[in-house]
Structure 1
Amino acid sequence: MKSRLFASAKPIIGMIHVGALPGTPANHLSLGKITEIAVQEAKIYRDAGVDGIAIENMHDVPYLRGGVGPEIVSSMTIIGQAVKQAFCGVTGIQILAAANREAMAAAHAAALDWVRVEGFVFAHVADEGFINSCAAELLRYRKQIGAEKVQVWADIKKKHSSHAITADISLGETAHAAEFMRADALIVTGPVTGRPPVPADAEETKAHTHLPVILGSGMNEANIGQFLPVADGFIVGSSFKKAGDWNNPVDSRKVKAFMKRVTAR
């Protein structure tokens, strides 16, 4: 991957879906316990040779739209810092839903490397409602707080969303626009969590951008060989979890088997 972040040409990035955070409907653990579990999963990824990790507040359903409170930002900052120290490698963050400024602030404070951003260019309708583009505001905010080292990885035509309002704009055109708006990498997904994109989507995206193209859903031990030639990196979540369910803890045996398959090619 053409990035200053990774030594590997095709980095594998493991997901940590942190426990439901304080103040969210499903929260039942202390912040200390949530952090402890996240650190344990970071160590599993480290020991299995995964190239990077990302933390995400996916258990905070139902998600707020376009912003979260200070309790979430501070919690994710604490977790992010602890996870990066345990993993000793490239670490990213996403705060749902489309809380992109908050994610940038947490990444900067915790010395993380990249943020995953929803709605960077154009707009779409997500589970939470209308998500507008944020590139101009986000990059100005990054500049204002001195966080230029934090990369922006932009989802394009992202999962769990309707793109009817941009149906006349192709995936390739969206990729071109995100590069023009100064994203650092692009993320392509399938329609929902755990479902892969089609290889043609990755190929179309790469044909319209010079940026790294990351596949952000549905990668598993069975299909990774098909996708390795057509993308620059892979975010893996569900297939690293017990029973292949994102709700479950990370399964060290599944991670090691996946990485063995990747390194054998």
Structure 2
Amino acid sequence: MFDFFDGKKKVVIGMVHIGALPGTPLYDEKGGMNTLIQKAAMDLEALQDGGVDAVMFGNENDRPYSLRAPVGSVAAMSAVVSFLTNRIQLPFGVNYLWDPVASVAIAAATGAKFVREIFTGVYASDMGLWVPDCDGALKARRDLGVRNLKLLFNINAEFAAPLDTRPLGLRARSAVFSSLADAILVSGPITGQPTEQSALTEVAEAVKDVPVFANTGVNLDNVADVLSVADGCIVGTHFKVGGNTWNAVDPARVRAFMEKVATLR
């Protein structure tokens, strides 16, 4: 596991879903950047108080999604995260959907420890033909002077179907070997939906040298099964009020989940 987790086992990363950023269709012009920062700060506080091991900032609200980040949105997300860095007490990461180079750039600007993205593969998706720029992202990590930034490779994209017909375990091994993945993430078909346990097991058995995380759909009912296989999980939707992705983080849900995780470590 990564050194910034201080040897913790079965790591839980909680999501701070930033509101829609400037330049995107759902952006709240009236509330502006102040509202984005205030809501993100509240979610950050709830996650930290609830005992998660790390947090990750993402732009899930920038629907419909784009495969190339607008410059203004990259600047706005960097500003939100930077404004909150003095309140962050845990290792943190960033993820700009669905642009790996932009995600690395935001990480470099904010001091993030890790990035989550789709780095490899070819997909038919809601956004059209999806061909990520893994090479560009790793070169950006080098050129921006953040060689220690960890890259978490989501290998089965939500909202998409892979055109690569290789078994998932082989794609995971390939991503580690040929594309230098620091960790492998396994997802369900859409945000908040769990991955098949068999898929998670397949990847964990295929990849021994890097951590494997469940990326979507982990909840109080399935976390024991998930962590019996995975090294950790990323949790967003389950931590929200009513289990709704677009609601605020519910502190009680976070505490209950982390109490359960404590019994599994």
Q: Which category describes the TM-score, using the shorter chain as reference length?
A: over 0.9
SS in structure 1 of the partner of residue 3 of structure 2 = coil
Q: How does 1:228-239 map to 2 (within 5 A)?
A: 228-239=227-238
2:29 equivalent to 1:30: no
Distance 2:174 2:135 in 1: 13
- Structure 1: tracts of 5 or more residues without a match: none
Corresponding residue of 1:200: 198
Q: Which runs of 4+ in 1 moved over 4 A?
A: none
Q: Is the 8 A contact 1:142 1:148 kept in 2?
A: yes
Q: CA-to-partner distance for each residue in 1:192-245, whole Å, 9 max, x for gaps?
A: 111111222122112222211010111111111111110011000111001101
Query: Deviations along 1:158-216, whole A, 9 cap, x unmatched?
Result: 221112x212x010111011101101111101111111112221221122222110101
Equivalent pairs counted in the alignment come to: 259
Determine if contact 1:84/1:91 at 8 Å carries over to the other structure.
no
Q: Secondary structure at the match of 1:222?
A: coil
AA aligned opposite 1:53: V
Give 3-state SS (helix, strand or coil) of 2:242's partner: helix
CA distance in 2, matches of 1:152, 1:140: 12
TM-score, structure 2 length as denominator? 0.94
* Aligned twin of 1:136: 135
Name the CA distance, whole Å, in 2 between partners of 1:226 and 1:83.
34
Q: C-alpha deviations, 1:60-88, integer Å up to 9, x for none?
A: 111222x2222111111122223443221
Aligned mate of 2:66, from 61, 64, 67: 64
Output the CA distance in 2 between the equivalents of 1:215 and 1:83.
26
SS for the counterpart of 2:5 is: coil
Question: Can you list the C-alpha shifts for 1:99-134, whole angstroms capped at 9, x where unaligned?
Answer: 11111111111000111111x222112211111142
Tell me the equivalent position of 2:77: 76
* 1:138-160, Cα deviation, whole Å (9 max, x unpaired): 11121111121211101112221
Task: Supply the distance in 1 between the matched residues of 2:191 and 2:216 (Cα, whole angstroms).
Answer: 6
Helix, strand or coil for the counterpart of 1:108? helix
- Aligned-pair identity (%): 30
Q: What SS does the corresponding residue of 2:180 show, helix, strand or coil? A: coil
| Paired position in structure 2 for 1:115 | 115
What value does the CA root-mean-square deviation take over the aligned residues? 1.3
SS at match of 1:71: helix
Question: Contact 1:80/1:112 (CA < 8 Å) preserved in 2?
Answer: no
Equivalent position SS for 2:14 = strand
Match of 1:47 in 2: 49
Amino acid at match of 1:232: D
CA–CA distance in structure 2, aligned partners of residues 79 and 260 of structure 1 = 30
SS of residue in 2 equivalent to 1:166: coil
Equivalent residue number for residue 176 of structure 1: 173
Amino acid in structure 2 at the alignment position of 1:185: A
Q: Which residue of 2 aligns with 1:219?
A: 218
- In the alignment, the residues of structure 2 paired with residue 85 and residue 231 of structure 1 have an alpha-carbon distance, to the nearest angstrom, of 31
Which one-letter code corresponds to 1:179 in the other structure? V
Aligned letter for 2:26? A
User: Helix, strand or coil for the counterpart of 2:151?
Assistant: strand
Q: Which moved more, 1:26-35 or 1:103-112?
A: 26-35
Q: What SS is found at the alignment partner of 1:112?
A: coil
Contact persistence 2:99–2:132 (CA under 8 A): no
